[in-house]
Chain A
Amino acid sequence: MSDELDRIRREMHAVLQPPGVRPDDSLQITRRTFIHRSLLFGAASVGQTFAWWPLLNTIDVAHAAEAPFKFAWISDTHLYERSLNTRFVDKVVRAVQEVQAMDPPADFLIFGGDLAQLGKIEELELGVELLKDLTIKKYYIPGEHDWYLDMGKKWGELFGQPNWTFDHKGVRFIGLDTVSRGPDYWTAKKMTPEERMGHMATLDGTVAGAWAGVGRDQLDWMQKTLADWDKSKPIVIFSHNPLYEYYPPWNFWVRDWREVNDVLKPYAKVTNIHGHVHQVLYNEIGSMRSIGMLATSWPWPYAPEGVPKLTKPMIRVDPGDLFDGVGWETVSVNADDKVDVEYIMWGRKEVFVQSPEDHDKSIEEVIRPRIADNQYPWANP
């Protein structure tokens, strides 16, 4: 597998990084960390709650927007029914309260997919109920966990079209559906919807295959959507999966990243913000920059290979603290026309690794794909 990944990665580098190709020079990246002083907790409660204060990390990306504004991102809440698991509910409640408390308020919220864990009606409806307390405009894109029980039926009823576009203060926003075009692995094997969902819900499963993709039809739609957009004006694209190849065995990619790049190549200022990876991630792909967001539910370890060299890794998480390694983000376009992505990781003074030992890959590992899901009857229907 490793050789194959190396081959794909070399190919990606050759295709996307010819000499001189980089994101626009105005897209300066800087990072800063500061104590977040405002959200839910007043000064009086500093003593009691210091350990729980969210702390912000910022990636500044310069854009040319018409006016300063701010929006929020929440994703990967992976809600079970409330009777089974209240921990994930607590985290959504906390994120919602904090976004609602933003001052000045966010212009809108992007929900980046995986609202539910097993795509159940009850789980999706629980998500709607919890997010109802957030009164700003909300936009949703789907995750694979939302989709494969009923093939997006309930999700569509609740949230409408999975891909969409709108302009806001000089920035064109696009929401993509990178989950619904998975190859059919269930019909031939006569799987029940629950079995289909079960395989899809297992990140390291080997049955569902390379399900993450944008699809020709949606690429054509995106091309059409961007046709009237000035090539020097900013574009922000939201997707559940990263739009490049990071680690295909966990679908940390879209399989048609080449075609995505073809569509976006003419545009100078493209930022992709994605969920799914449950970790701090940063990359530059051709002329696009890509930023990975935290989950509220739980953090994934970095993949054993393929972590972009430009990523400054997040801290190794304390498994005894359920609020560690998770959180939400604000994205603000400030007076200097910069877009700040701020990681709000609960319970951390410092989001980024400070020493080699803080990195979850400080102990090297060589791991291999699982086997038990790909044996009879799955492999030989």
Chain B
Amino acid sequence: MTNTSTFLCILRRSTVAGAVAAAAVVVGPASANKDPVTPKQLKLYEEAFMEEVRKGDLLFHGDAAMAEQLGVKLSTTGWACAMCHPMASDTHPHAFPKFQASMAKFATLRDMINWCIEKPNQGEKIDPESEAMKALEAYITWSNTGSVLVPGKY
């Protein structure tokens, strides 16, 4: 019995290890964490990020084509995020999460983005896990690069 369970345990471990190895071969990044990062990889990572920044920039500035591409309706009033937040000014992504008086709750940046979409913009709230949300978050945080983290600050 003991031998059998040990064998099964080893078998299970082997299976898991095999799956991870296979995933690493297929996906890449899992093993990439253990390898020295190449400039080529860094460039790819940065490009992936900047592509989301670009999409977020367009959404933030009311670009209709990008909103359609990502299936969101961020405004019905003509208003766009950038009209109150030029260059993502006054968004303070480096202060979240914090107590947000306008929502009377401890809120994340994504909560705040959705609040602005729903209230001033009168648009349709978006899925916090959606690409549109991540793109908006990417643009806002990218634009605030250099701001010092002050979580919780009013």
Chain A residues, CB < 8 A from B95: 363
Interface size grouping (class) on chain A: 35 or more
Contact A202 B82 (CB under 8 A): yes
Question: Most chain-A Cβ atoms within 10 A of its Cβ — which of B77, B78, B87?
Answer: B87
Is B86 in contact with A204, judged by CB distance below 8 angstroms? Answer: yes
Question: Contacts of B92 on A, CB cut-off 8 Å?
Answer: 363, 365
B83 vs chain A, min Cβ distance (A): 6
- Bound-state Cα–Cα, A298 to B89, Å: 15
- Contact residues, A297-345 vs B (CB, 8 A): 298-301, 303-304, 318-320, 322
C-alpha gap A117/B78 in the complex (Å): 9
Report if A367-B144 is in contact (Cβ < 8 Å); known contacts: A202-B82, A357-B154.
yes
> How far apart sit A376 and B86, CA to CA, in the bound complex (Å)?
22
Point out the residues of chain B lying under 8 angstroms from A202, CB to CB. 61, 82
Contact A301 B120 (CB under 8 A): no
Interface residues of chain A: helix, strand, loop or mixed (majority): loop
Q: Which residues of A contact B88 (CB under 8 A)?
A: 367
Q: How far is the CA of A157 from the CA of B53 in the complex (A)?
A: 42
- Shortest distance in angstroms between B73's beta carbon and chain A's nearest beta carbon? 14
Contacts A363-B153, A370-B61 known; A320 to B119 CB distance under 8 Å? yes
Closest to B91 in A: A365
Quote the shortest CB–CB distance from B30 to chain A (angstroms): 31
Contact assessment for A204 and B87 in the assembled complex, using a CB-CB cutoff below 8 Å: yes
Q: Which residue of A lies closest to B63 (CB)?
A: A372
State which residues 261-311 of A face B: CB under 8 Å.
298-301, 303-304
User: In the complex, what residues of A have CB within 8 A of residue B120's CB?
Assistant: 319-320, 322
Tell me if B58 counts as interface (CB < 8 A to partner A): yes
State whether A370 touches B87 (Cβ < 8 A): yes
A-B contact pairs, 11 of them (CB 8 A): A84-B78, A301-B85, A319-B102, A319-B116, A362-B153, A363-B94, A365-B89, A365-B92, A365-B94, A367-B89, A368-B142
